[in-house]
């Protein structure tokens, strides 16, 4: 017969403390019959009698006293650990494991973490940024950010904002090399190409053509597996680049970069925040997810409007702008 050791030992200890099996059952929230069965199973399992019983009194045998002294501290330790596990789930302190892509997402994620830690100083962010999709279960990830489909089955997704891929360059580049007026013209321009850190492959430029997403061949004048280096190269006027909208947005708004070929700019995918069942998550993870959704969902900080793009493109050298009083349409 199978024995529930934890229930049997708990019943034994409580009966020893209270001197009554009926009182032990009441304290443990089980029936007297269940308590009696649990104690009988324990004695049968150990092949030793633990109590002397009369109609009014029960007292420990020598074997029972020895067992009580051995197991009571251990059970108290288990109970403390279980209580701590329950309370830790609702604490706004301790580690928070966050995963996300290294490329494009670092400047987006840090302000979020900084604000969250200012609210809850006891949080210890444990951040894993890499472009390959790891095993979030084995890595014990609480909250994950990814571009596109879920990396694992069984996770919940919330869409944040679209990934725009903006073809752009610095004013100095256009003054020196001119403005490409078509996709075909890109072949005669100096372009940067990103090497994917996880695969080592060159990431092609993606463009929208006749409503379809297609790859656009370019002759790379610069290849890099680091987005920050690529950004600096584009800002310096040495090359054209196809940059993520979230990366390019502040520089386009400041006039340091100018977008080109807007009719062919694609929205490749969207960023999502991923997490497991909210009912089993620590409170700190739920709060971080809520902050991410609040701050990042369709955030204008990371998405350029059509009006912003059109206004920036109108500043390109050689673009004829309407004179004052003329309609721009």
Give the mean model confidence (pLDDT) for residues 292-315.
92
Domain ranges within the chain, ordered by starting residue: 5-86, 94-151+278-293, 162-269+302-313
Q: How far apart are CA 181 and CA 187, in angstroms?
A: 11
Give the mean model confidence (pLDDT) for residues 113-122.
92
pLDDT at 92 over 90: no
pLDDT at 309 over 60: yes
Residue that has been written with the tokens 């869409």 in this structure: 159
SS (H, E, C) the chain: CCCCHHHHHHHHHHHHHHCCHHHHHHHHCCCHHHHHHHHHHHHHHHCCCCEEECCCCEEECHHHHHHHHHHHHHHHHHHHHHHHHHHHCCCCCEEEEEEECCCCCHHHHHHHHHHHHHHCCCEEEEEEECCCCCCCCCCCCCEEEEECCCCCCCCEEEEEEEEEEEEEECHHHHHHHCCCCCCHHHHHCCEEEEECCCCCCEECEEEEECCEEEEECCCEEEEECCHHHHHHHHHCCCCEEEEEHHHHHHHHHCCCCEECCHHHCCEEEEEEEEECCHHHCCHHHHHHHHHHHHHHCCCCCCCCCHHHHHHHHCCCCCCCCCCCCCCCC
pLDDT of residue 279: 63
User: Does 3.40.190.290 match the CATH number of domain 162-269+302-313?
Assistant: yes
On the question of a common fold for 5-86 and 94-151+278-293, the answer reads: no
More confident residue, 255 or 320: 255
Q: How far apart are CA 329 and CA 310, in angstroms?
A: 11
pLDDT of residue 127: 92
Percent of the chain with pLDDT over 70: 86
CB 99 within 8 A of CB 273: no
Residue that has been written with the tokens 């919330």 in this structure: 158
pLDDT at 91 over 60: yes
pLDDT of residue 82: 66
Burial (0-12, 13-18, 19+ Cβ within 10 Å), 153 = exposed
pLDDT of residue 183: 93
> Which of 46-55, 129-138, 228-237 shows the highest mean pLDDT?
228-237
The top-level CATH class assigned to 94-151+278-293 is alpha beta
pLDDT in tens, 242-278: 999 999 999 999 999 999 999 999 877 889 998 877 6
Confidence of residue 150 (pLDDT cuts 50, 70, 90): low
pLDDT at 329 over 50: no
0.85 exceeded by the pTM?
Answer: no
- Mean pLDDT of all residues in the chain? 84
pLDDT of residue 256: 96
Q: How far apart are CA 19 and CA 24, in angstroms?
A: 8
DSSP string, 36-93: HHHHHHHHHHHTS--EEE-SS-EEE-HHHHHHHHHHHHHHHHHHHHHHHHHHHTT-S-
Tell me which architecture the domain covering 5-86 has in CATH. Answer: Orthogonal Bundle (1.10)
More confident residue, 93 or 50: 50
Q: How far is CA 184 from the centre of its chain?
A: 39
pLDDT at 306 over 70: yes
Give the mean model confidence (pLDDT) for residues 289-300.
93
Confidence of residue 72 (pLDDT cuts 50, 70, 90): confident
């Amino acid at each position: 017969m199978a024995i529930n050791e934890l229930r049997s030992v708990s019943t034994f200890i409580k009966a020893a403390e209270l001197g009554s099996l009926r009182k032990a059952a009441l304290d443990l929230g089980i029936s007297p019959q269940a308590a009696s069965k649990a104690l009988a199973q324990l004695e049968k399992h150990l092949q030793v009698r633990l109590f002397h019983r009369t109609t009014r009194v029960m007292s420990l045998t020598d074997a029972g006293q020895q067992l009580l002294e051995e197991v009571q501290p251990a059970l108290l330790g288990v109970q403390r650990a279980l209580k701590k596990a329950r309370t830790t789930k609702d604490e706004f302190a301790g580690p928070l494991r966050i995963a996300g892509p290294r490329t494009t997402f670092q400047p987006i994620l840090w302000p979020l973490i900084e604000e969250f830690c200012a609210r809850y100083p006891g949080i210890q962010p444990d951040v894993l940024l890499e472009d390959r999709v790891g095993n979030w279960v084995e890595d014990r990830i609480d909250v994950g950010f990814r571009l596109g489909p879920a990396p694992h089955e069984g996770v919940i997704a919330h869409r944040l904002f679209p990934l725009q891929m903006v073809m752009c360059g610095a004013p100095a580049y256009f003054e020196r090399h001119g403005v490409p007026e078509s996709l075909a013209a890109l072949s005669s321009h100096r372009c940067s190409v990103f090497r994917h850190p996880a695969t080592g492959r060159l990431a092609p430029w993606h463009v929208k053509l006749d409503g379809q997403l297609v790859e656009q061949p370019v002759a790379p004048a610069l290849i890099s597996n680091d987005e920050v280096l690529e950004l600096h190269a584009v800002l310096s006027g040495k090359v054209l680049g196809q940059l993520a909208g979230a990366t390019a947005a502040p520089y386009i708004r400041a006039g340091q970069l100018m977008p080109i070929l807007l009719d062919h700019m694609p929205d490749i995918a969207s960023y999502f925040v991923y997490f497991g069942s909210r009912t089993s998550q620590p409170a700190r993870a739920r709060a971080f997810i809520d902050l991410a959704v609040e701050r990042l969902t369709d955030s204008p900080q990371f998405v350029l409007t059509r009006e912003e793009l059109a206004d920036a493109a109108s500043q390109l050298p050689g673009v004829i702008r309407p004179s004052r009083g003329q309609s721009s349409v």
